Structure 1
Amino acid sequence: MADLDSAFREYYPPSREQRQAAMTEGMVCLDTNVLLDAYRFNPRVRDELLVVLEKLSNRLWVPHQVAFEFHKNRINVISDQAKSYTDALKSLEEFRGHFAENIISKIGHLGRTVALTKAEGEDIVRPILAGINSTIQEIGALQQRHGVHLDMITNDNVLARLESLLKGKVGDPYTAEDEEKERQEAQRRIDNKLPPGYADASKSDPHGDYLLWSQILREAKIRNAPILFVTRDGKSDWFRREKGQTISARVELIREARETAGCELIAMSTQTFLLHAREYLDAQVSDELLREVEKFPEPEDDLQPNSSARQSGDEVTFMTRVALHYLLKEIESERSRLRSLTSQAQRQMDHYSHLLEESDSPLERSVIEDQRGDSEDRLTALRRRIRQLSQTKNFLRSPVVINEGNSVGYPREHLERVLSIIGSQIIMRGLAARESEIAVTEDESDPRLPGTWI
């Protein structure tokens, strides 16, 4: 007679002992997205990941289907990474051109309106252009450090490192006859919503996940070792989730591994694998590597060159976010400067209030009241600008949900608004820098104010 746990072991989360056995003794199988992510990491983080994988030695194994998908999509990933930099730089170049064509003339009009000298007008323009040029240079330097560019298509040092890592560790392909049979089984599973692979029914090749799974089972049966499958694919046809929590691999897959290959199955995200590598393999896994892995979305589009995410208008890629990061730092710096001026203005107003309490001369009190009124106006303007900067910062840090909630990013029209606001904030900083004298806007709802564009 069976026990409660032994007869239904697939319903239990992996125990600590099972995880340790998988990490130290198991056959570690990588999904395609893990290999492709090597191109997405910066060089230091990439090296760290590959060193962890090297620790696995001969226990590391890649199904033939994974190797095929990797080579099929490698150039697309390289191109996407290069395009990220190109798009970011293009957006900034366009903004610089827009500034030169439109905003400088408006600053000239402002100078004629409020009687700025030529030097004062140049003092406003100079930091804006310097900020844009500095950001362009930062992105260019970041691209050089990242080391992923179109030249890698023919001279790929990442590929050379992966080839060395996986030498003798890639599975054999199916014969044409066996592959046809496996594809029929894959289609049967898709039709009946059986894992894995049914979540990929809309892909150009919907059978890929099942093919790599069947190859894993074939190799595991030969090795008679636990299976540790590492993937960034968190779809429901691989993982069992309850109430938003990931429990384990799908029950059906755990059962199939036992019945077909006579071994245990544990599926892990890349991040979870790295955390366990730190604990069980004594691997050097930095918090930076864990953060890099965590910020990547699930790889629904890795194998789809014309994916819906790219069609949806999400024009601001990761590197454009880097550009926004530097500009957000400018806004925060301006907020800090204005807070300091606000404190000074408040102290000055308190000083005039104290003088009013002590003065008995009507003429003196009249002068002090005028001075106190000027300080109060200045304090009001400072607080208004701090509030506008806070609103703008919150706007820039709030992504827009697109693609029916499945993707988060900045559509092109949102980016144009973002860049307009950032440019206006820099202009405001240049104006505010004129001997710390801040003009008072007559109406807080003045449409020229960046804060009201939100």
Structure 2
Amino acid sequence: MADLQGHAVNIESGNGSRSLFPGYYPLEHERRRDAFQQGLVSLDTNALLDLYRFTPRARLEFIAALTVIKDRLFLTHQAALEFHRNRLKVVDDRSRGVISEGKEVANSIGAAVPKVREFARRYQIEDNLRDDLITRMEELAKVTESTLREASEYDVRRESVRLGTDPILKDFDQLFDHRIGNPLSPADHKAALAEATRRRDNRIPPGYMDKKGGDTDRQAGDYLVWLQLLIEAKKHDRPLLFICNEEKEDWIYKHSGETVGPRPELVLEFQEQVGTYFHMVNVTGFLLNAKSLLGTTVSDTTLSEAQAFSPVRKVSIRYGVGMGVDMADMPTSDIEKMESALNQLATELRQNGVVPEVAKPLRGTGARGRTAYSLEVDEGIRASLQITSEVDDDREVFRILVFKIHSRPQKLRGTR
């Protein structure tokens, strides 16, 4: 066997893979533990606003977990500003959601009425029995809607939020007393806005998914949070625990729809700028680890609530005329079948974490879309769909448009 000793090559400037590409390696347990137990801790705006989404018990548990680490909390000026700007909006969104989704449940009960009428006609059910059943269904729909609305009320009143006298704001003030960073100087702020624009134009995270147009400061919000985190973290020889509910691709690295972790570019930038490391978790992850690493009490119901507060994606489902198809030419029974199928699509989307808005039938041609689908409405009837998406503030909005309805020739005139 050949003697290979003494032939090693010394790479003077060589590095290990973990030091060059830290964002592609998961943090070891010891580092995650140290981030929770010793690190500087900060929150993004959406995580803070969960305080207004939680029920009272869950809110108390979240605040208790943050109180344990109060002496290590830091909040960027930008996150605090956005928190104050959006408090009332979150309360209003919750109220509107309760009303709209309650109506949606009630409407699903009412949607069965035509089927009952058709069933009664086909199988010769007496009119008085049919009418009695329909009356009961309509009453059930009303009771269901009102009961859901009453059950969804919680202890935060809109007026107190508007006036700044709500209990959540008092808890916020106590948690972050003397722990909110200063704003950037005018010169630094101007430079930061220019850098945010450069990064957005070159798709450098974070912030390039923020809505374009409008107020320049708001477009730069994510980058301002990141910059202020870097500035503060440089003052402390500690890791950073960042509690962040972001799911957009300019913060989160995903593969085939699965969340892997924070964007590797952010992990590397933090390491190069600060000299330590940062660990990013959402509110659910923070609460889950708070039980084992901080010794706080977190119930399963609180974890379930936190999981339900993932950033909401809205879907606007539009269906109507396109490419020569006129709904006036379609029999009522076929329109009902089409609407039923589209509502079923909305239900499936909701089950996958997408909240739909079902619009009224519209006339007109469809817009160009990114993705095309074909939906089975009924035997011999299909709807062609196009889906477009855009980022609107902190939500990804999908618009689904039925741009063509395929039907049997004798049932639908005017098709091409």
Distance 1:293 1:115, change over 3 A: closer
Secondary structure of 1:169's aligned partner: coil
Distance 1:191 1:94, change over 3 A: closer
Q: Which runs of 5+ in 2 are unaligned?
A: 1-11, 319-339, 362-416
Structure 2: distance between partners of 1:92 and 1:274? 31
**Residues 396-434 of structure 1: CA deviation (Å, up to 9, x unaligned):** 6962559xx9944251459xxxxxxxxxxxxxxxxxxxx
Q: Which residue of 1 aligns with 2:77?
A: 64
Given that 1:36 and 1:74 are in contact with CA atoms closer than 8 Å, whether structure 2 keeps it comes out as: yes
Q: Does 1:24 align with 2:33?
A: no
Q: Which residue of 2 aligns with 1:170?
A: 180
Bigger Cα Rg: 1
Residue number among 168, 183, 187 corresponding to 2:193 in the alignment? 183
Secondary structure of 2:289's aligned partner: helix
Given that 1:61 and 1:169 are in contact with CA atoms closer than 8 Å, whether structure 2 keeps it comes out as: yes
Which letter maps to 1:4?
A: G
1:151-300 aligned at under 5 Å gives the runs 151-154=160-163, 155-200=165-210, 202=212, 204=214, 205-298=218-311
Q: Which residue of 1 aligns with 2:150?
A: 141
Given that 2:312 and 2:355 are in contact with CA atoms closer than 8 Å, whether structure 1 keeps it comes out as: no
Deviation at residue 258 of structure 1 after TM alignment: 2.2
1:405-416 aligned at under 5 Å gives the runs 407-412=354-359
Deviation at residue 114 of structure 1 after TM alignment: 5.4
Which letter maps to 2:358?
A: P
Q: Judging by fraction of residues, say which structure has more helix.
A: 1
Query: After alignment, is 81-90 or 252-261 more displaced?
Result: 81-90
Given that 1:81 and 1:149 are in contact with CA atoms closer than 8 Å, whether structure 2 keeps it comes out as: no
**Residues 266-300 of structure 1: CA deviation (Å, up to 9, x unaligned):** 12222222222222112222222222222334367
1:287-366 aligned at under 5 Å gives the runs 287-298=300-311, 309=314, 312=316
Structure 1: distance between partners of 2:268 and 2:111? 61
Q: Which residue of 1 aligns with 2:407?
A: none
Given that 1:233 and 1:299 are in contact with CA atoms closer than 8 Å, whether structure 2 keeps it comes out as: no
Q: Which residue of 2 aligns with 1:452?
A: none
Percent identity among equivalent residues? Answer: 29
Structure 2: distance between partners of 1:165 and 1:408? 33
Distance 1:152 1:92, change over 3 A: farther
**Residues 232-272 of structure 1: CA deviation (Å, up to 9, x unaligned):** 11222222334544333222222222222222111222222
**Residues 381-410 of structure 1: CA deviation (Å, up to 9, x unaligned):** xxxxxxxxxxx99x76962559xx994425
Deviation at residue 145 of structure 1 after TM alignment: 3.3
Structure 1: distance between partners of 2:21 and 2:106? 59
TM-score normalised to structure 2 length: 0.65
Q: Which runs of 5+ in 1 are unaligned?
A: 301-308, 315-391, 415-454
Deviation at residue 98 of structure 1 after TM alignment: 11
Structure scoring higher RCO (CA < 8 A, sep ≥ 6) equals: 1
Query: After alignment, is 202-211 or 2-11 more displaced?
Result: 2-11
Distance 1:53 1:211, change over 3 A: same
Distance 1:98 1:285, change over 3 A: closer
Q: Judging by fraction of residues, say which structure has more strand.
A: 2
Q: Which residue of 2 aligns with 1:14?
A: 27
Structure 2: distance between partners of 1:82 and 1:198? 31
Q: Which residue of 2 aligns with 1:4?
A: 16
Distance 1:44 1:4, change over 3 A: same
Deviation at residue 122 of structure 1 after TM alignment: 8.0
Which letter maps to 2:176?
A: L
Structure 2: distance between partners of 1:80 and 1:175? 34
Given that 1:227 and 1:265 are in contact with CA atoms closer than 8 Å, whether structure 2 keeps it comes out as: yes
Secondary structure of 2:42's aligned partner: strand
Given that 2:32 and 2:279 are in contact with CA atoms closer than 8 Å, whether structure 1 keeps it comes out as: yes
Distance 1:181 1:84, change over 3 A: same
Deviation at residue 140 of structure 1 after TM alignment: 3.3
Structure 1: distance between partners of 2:109 and 2:204? 53
Structure 2: distance between partners of 1:152 and 1:90? 26
Deviation at residue 124 of structure 1 after TM alignment: 3.4
Deviation at residue 13 of structure 1 after TM alignment: 1.3
Secondary structure of 1:228's aligned partner: strand
CA RMSD, Structure 1 to Structure 2 (Å) = 3.7
Deviation at residue 228 of structure 1 after TM alignment: 1.2
Secondary structure of 1:248's aligned partner: strand
Given that 1:271 and 1:294 are in contact with CA atoms closer than 8 Å, whether structure 2 keeps it comes out as: yes
Deviation at residue 231 of structure 1 after TM alignment: 1.0
Aligned residue-pair number = 318
TM-score normalised to structure 1 length: 0.60
Q: Which residue of 1 aligns with 2:324?
A: none
Deviation at residue 138 of structure 1 after TM alignment: 1.6
